[in-house]
Structure 1
Amino acid sequence: MISAEQNERLTRVGPGTPGGRVLRHYWQPIALVDELEGKRPVRPVRALGQDFVLFRDEQGRIGLLDRDCPHRNADLAFGRLEDGGLRCPFHGWLFDVTGKCLETPAEPEGSTLCTRIKQRSYPVEVRSGIIFAYLGEGAAPPFPAFDCFAAPDTHTFAFKGLIECNWLQALEVGIDPAHASFLHRFFDDGDEKEAYGKQFRATSDGSDLPMTYVLREFPRPRIEVDNTPYGLRVTALRSINDATTHVRVTNLFFPQAFVIPMSAEMTITQWHMPVDDTRCYWIAIFTSFAGPVDRARMRAQRLENYSLPDYLPKKGRQNDYGFDPDEQESKTYTGMGEDINVHDQWAVESQGAIQDRTRETLASSDKAIAANRRLLMRAMAAVEEGKRPALLQEDTTAGLTGPGTIDTMAPAATWESHWRQAVERRRGAAPWAPPALAAE
C-alpha cells in the first residue's frame, strides 16, 4: 500500500508535476505516421496535459508546435498549410516546422515584427511508423538500438488505441505476468492457422502447446525481476513437469513501455502515452523476425475494435465492453470477446480514472509493479535535486539492443541459458540481421 501523496506523485503528468518532469526527459510517442496521411496533414495532439499541433509541410517535414498562436491564441490546429508552413487563419501569421515566424501579413509594409516572433517547437523523430517528440528542456536523449527501431519498415507495424484512465495503471498490466492466466484465459485453444497477429494464440518457441493452454493450465508462475540498463526484466516460470519449464521473458522499457513476446516470430513494444491525468493511448510497434508484416491484415484486425480518426475503442463502459454471459461461461474468462486489448481496457478502466492505490493490497505476483514504482519515485527525487533521472538513454547506452523477450519451453535445469539462446537464434535468423544482444 502507498500513501495518497505518493499516489499523487506517481500519476500526475502536467507541466511542473514531479511525474510530468520525469516523463519530459524521455521521447514520447505522440502520434502514428498514418495520422498525417490524407488530404490535410494537420492534427491536434494532447500529450502530458499540454496541447500541440502536429503537421507535415509541403516539403514533407514534420513539425510540432504549441497549439495556440502567439498572436491572439487562436487554434493552430485549424491552420492552413501553405507557403512553407502552417498559417493561422485569424490574421495570417505563418510558422515553419521550427516555430520560426515567416510572415505577419496584416502588419504594415516593412514591419519587422515577425523577426521577433518564435512559436515553441519540439524535436520530432519518426521511428517504425511512430512520430516521437521530445517535450522537455535541453538536448533530447538518443534512441537505443532496440529491435523495434532497428527493423526495416517492412518488418514493423504500428497501431494505437485510447484508454480512459491514468497511464500508470495501464502500463502496470504489461509488467504483471500473473494476470494473463485469468484475464486472457480462453477455454478453446483455437486454430493455429488463425493465430497470426493475435496475442496468446500461437505456440511457444520449441513447443506445440499453444500459449492459451500453457496460461490456462499453469496459472501460478514463479516470477523473477532483474534490474537492467533500460529498466526491468520480468521472467515468469511455469513448471510443466519435472524436466520442463515454460519461460516467458518480458521487459519494462522505463518509464512508459514494455517489450513482450507476441508469437514465435513477432514481438510487441508498447508505450502508454498520457494524454492527461485520466486518459492515455497504448501505442505499439509490432516487430517481425521472420517475413514482412502483413500490415493490411494486422490493421484490419485492430480496426474491428477501434474507430478512426481518433483510435477510439468500440467497446467500453458505454456498452459493458461487449460483455456476454454465455461467452463467459464457455469461451473466454471475461466474456468480452477475444481481443486482449479489450480485456486490459476493462481491467484498468474499472480501477477508476486514477486508481486509488491506498486501497490496494499488493501480492507476491506484483513484485515487478512494486519495483517499477520505486524506479519512478527515485527518478522524481533525482529530477527534484537537479539531476538527470536514472535509466535515461545516454551516448554510452544508445547501443543497447534487444531487449530479449520470448515464450519458450526450456529444460528445467538450464532455463536461464536456454531462453537467451532461443532469443539469439530467432534474432540471428531475421532477414534484417539485428545485432547481437548487448550484455546486461
Structure 2
Amino acid sequence: MMSQEQNDLITRIGPAAPAGLLMRRYWQPAALVAELKDERPIVPVRLLGQDFVLFRDEAGRYGMLDRDCPHRGADLAFGRLEQGGLRCSFHGWLFDAEGNCLETPAEPAGSKLCQNIRQKSYPVVEKNGILFAWLGEGEPSAFPELDCFQAPDAYTFAFKGLIECNWLQALEVGIDPAHASFLHRFFEDEEITEAYGKQFRGASAGTAIPMTRILREYDRPVINVERTEYGLRIIALRELDAERTHVRVTNQVFPHAFVIPMSTEMTITQWHVPVDDETCYWYAIFTSYGKPVDKEKMTAQRLELYELPGYVSRKNKSNDYGFDPHEQKHSTYTGMGADINVHDQWAVESMGRIQDRTREHLGQSDKAIIQYRKILREQIDKVRNGGEPMMVLDAKAARAIQGPGTMDGIGPSKGWETYWMEVDVARRRSAPWMPAVPPAQPGDEKIVDLVAAAE
C-alpha cells in the first residue's frame, strides 16, 4: 500500500511541489484555439495551480501573462486588446505578448515608470487546435513528432472536458485496459455504420465484429506492459479461440498523455492537465489516417454533453451523472447513458477530489498503473537531484519520438506480435499525409523488416 506522503508526492502540482516542478519541464495544454473568439480573443487560464490570461493580439501573436496586473493586482482577463497589447481596464497600463510594459497612461508626462515594469510572460505554441504553454524556466523542450502534431489540420480535431478530480486518477483510467469490459459494457451492439466519432463502437480492424461485443464477452485480458523511451506501450490480449486473439495496443506518453485507437481510421492523443490539485481538463487531438475529419460532426457530438464556455459535462456529480436504474438493468452496465466520457468521469470523480491511495489494493490488471507510478517517482527524483527528466527533448531527440503505433484488431493467436505491427505500418503507408513509421523500440526487431518491406 501507499503512504499518504507518497500519495502527496505524485499528485500535488503546485509551483514548489516536487511533481509540480517536474510538470513545469513540459509544454502544457492551456486552451483550445476555438476558445479565443474573434470578437474577444482573451481567456482566463488556471493551470498547475496558477492563474494566467491568454490572448491573441491584433497581429495574431499569442501571449500568456500572469493574470494580476503588476500595478495594483486587477484582473487582466477583463482587459482590452488595443495598440499592440493587452490593456488593464483599471488604469490603462498596456502590456505586449512578451510582458513588456508599453504604456502607463495615468502617470505624468515623461514618467519612466514603464521602463522598469515587466509582467511575467510564458511562451505559447499552437499545435492542431490546442495552445500549449511553457511554464518552466530556461529553454523550452522541443515537441516530439507525434502523429497528432505531424498530421495536417484537416486530419485532426481538438476538444477538451473538465473533470473535478486530481489529474493522476484521471490519467490512470486511460492506461487501464481492463476497465473497458465493465465500465463501457453495452448489452446491445450498435450498427457499425453509426460509429463515426464514437470510441469502442466500431469494428475491430479487418473484421465486422463490433468492439462492444469483444469487451462484453472477453473480460479477462492478458496485459503486457513494455517500457519505451517515451513512456509505456500497453498491449491487451483477449483470446477469442485457439486461432484468433483480439489485440489492443495503446501508449502512455510521459508525463500525462496517452495515445489510443479510436477506430480503424482514427487515434486519440489525450492529455490530463492539472488545473490545480483537485481539478483537471482532458485535452484531446483526434487524428485520422484515412479521410479528413468531419469536424462539424465531431463538434456537434461532443456539444451534446459538454456546455461552453467551461467545457463542463451536463451529466455530473450534481445530477448523479444521469444515473437511471432501469437503464442499468436493461441496456447499459452503468446506467449512465452511452457516452463513455460520462462513465470515466463518474469513475474517477467518485474516488474523491484526490484519491486516497493508502486504501487501494492493486492486482495483475493494474500492471500499467504500477509501472507508470514507478516512472513518475523516478522522474520526480531526477528533477529534485538536478537531472533532466525523460521526454525533455532537444530537436534531434524530438525527431526520434514518432507515432507511437496503436492498434485494435483481431489477429492470429500465434504471431500477434508481428500482426499488430503490420496493421500499423499498412495504415501509415496508405495515409494521404504519409505519417512516419515509428522507430523500433527495444525488442521490436521485427518491425525493422516490416518497414523495409513497406518502403
TM-score band, normalised by shorter chain: over 0.9
Shift in Å at residue 428 of structure 1? 1.1
Shift in Å at residue 394 of structure 1? 3.2
Alignment of 1:171-250 (within 5 A): 171-250=171-250
Shift in Å at residue 437 of structure 1? 1.6
Who is 2:429 aligned against? 428
Cα deviation 1:319-358 (Å, max 9, x = unaligned): 1100111111121110101110000000000000000000
Who is 1:109 aligned against? 109
Corresponding residue pairs, total: 440
Q: What CA distance in whole angstroms lies between the structure 2 residues aligned with 1:181 and 1:258?
A: 19
Shift in Å at residue 207 of structure 1? 1.5
Q: What CA distance in whole angstroms lies between the structure 1 residues aligned with 2:397 and 2:336?
A: 42
- Root mean square deviation, CA, Å: 0.8
Aligned AA for 1:406? Answer: M
- TM-score of the aligned structures, taking structure 1 as reference length: 0.99
Aligned AA for 2:340? Answer: I
Who is 1:161 aligned against? 161
Alignment of 1:263-412 (within 5 A): 263-399=263-399, 400-412=401-413
Moved over 4 A (4+): none
Who is 1:137 aligned against? 137
Who is 1:414 aligned against? 415
Cα deviation 1:172-218 (Å, max 9, x = unaligned): 00000000000000111111111000000000112111100111100
Q: What CA distance in whole angstroms lies between the structure 2 residues aligned with 1:169 and 1:343?
A: 14
Shift in Å at residue 422 of structure 1? 0.3
Who is 2:126 aligned against? 126
Aligned AA for 1:277? Answer: D
Q: What CA distance in whole angstroms lies between the structure 2 residues aligned with 1:417 and 1:350?
A: 39
Task: Classify the secondary structure of the residue corresponding to 2:81.
Answer: strand
Cα deviation 1:103-146 (Å, max 9, x = unaligned): 11111111121111111111111001000011111111111111
- TM-score of the aligned structures, taking structure 2 as reference length: 0.96
Alignment of 1:247-258 (within 5 A): 247-258=247-258
Shift in Å at residue 397 of structure 1? 2.3
Shift in Å at residue 391 of structure 1? 3.2
Q: What CA distance in whole angstroms lies between the structure 2 residues aligned with 1:426 and 1:403?
A: 13
Shift in Å at residue 434 of structure 1? 0.9
Aligned AA for 1:80? Answer: R
Q: What CA distance in whole angstroms lies between the structure 2 residues aligned with 1:38 and 1:416?
A: 49
Aligned AA for 2:71? Answer: H
Q: What CA distance in whole angstroms lies between the structure 2 residues aligned with 1:430 and 1:162?
A: 32
Q: What CA distance in whole angstroms lies between the structure 1 residues aligned with 2:122 and 2:209?
A: 48
Aligned partners of 2:36 and 2:56 also within 8 Å: yes
Alignment of 1:51-66 (within 5 A): 51-66=51-66
Task: Classify the secondary structure of the residue corresponding to 1:173.
Answer: helix
Aligned partners of 2:142 and 2:392 also within 8 Å: no
Shift in Å at residue 410 of structure 1? 1.1
User: Gapped runs of 5+ residues in structure 2?
Assistant: 442-455
Who is 1:73 aligned against? 73
Cα deviation 1:206-232 (Å, max 9, x = unaligned): 211110011110000000000111100
User: Gapped runs of 5+ residues in structure 1?
Assistant: none
Q: What CA distance in whole angstroms lies between the structure 2 residues aligned with 1:140 and 1:367?
A: 32
Shift in Å at residue 38 of structure 1? 3.5
Q: What CA distance in whole angstroms lies between the structure 1 residues aligned with 2:317 and 2:106?
A: 49
Aligned AA for 2:249? Answer: V
Q: What CA distance in whole angstroms lies between the structure 2 residues aligned with 1:439 and 1:91?
A: 58
Shift in Å at residue 272 of structure 1? 0.5
Task: Classify the secondary structure of the residue corresponding to 2:183.
Answer: coil
Q: What CA distance in whole angstroms lies between the structure 2 residues aligned with 1:333 and 1:51?
A: 39
Matched, 1:437 2:438: yes
Task: Classify the secondary structure of the residue corresponding to 1:215.
Answer: helix
Q: What CA distance in whole angstroms lies between the structure 2 residues aligned with 1:245 and 1:332?
A: 25
Task: Classify the secondary structure of the residue corresponding to 1:207.
Answer: coil
Who is 1:5 aligned against? 5
Aligned AA for 1:228? Answer: T
More divergent stretch after superposition (385-394 vs 182-191)? 385-394
Q: What CA distance in whole angstroms lies between the structure 1 residues aligned with 2:254 and 2:146?
A: 13
Aligned AA for 2:412? Answer: P
Task: Classify the secondary structure of the residue corresponding to 2:415.
Answer: helix
Shift in Å at residue 435 of structure 1? 1.6
Q: What CA distance in whole angstroms lies between the structure 2 residues aligned with 1:423 and 1:220?
A: 24
Aligned AA for 1:327? Answer: E
Aligned partners of 2:204 and 2:264 also within 8 Å: yes
Identical pairs, percent: 63
Who is 1:46 aligned against? 46
Cα deviation 1:131-174 (Å, max 9, x = unaligned): 00111111111111110000011000000110000000000000
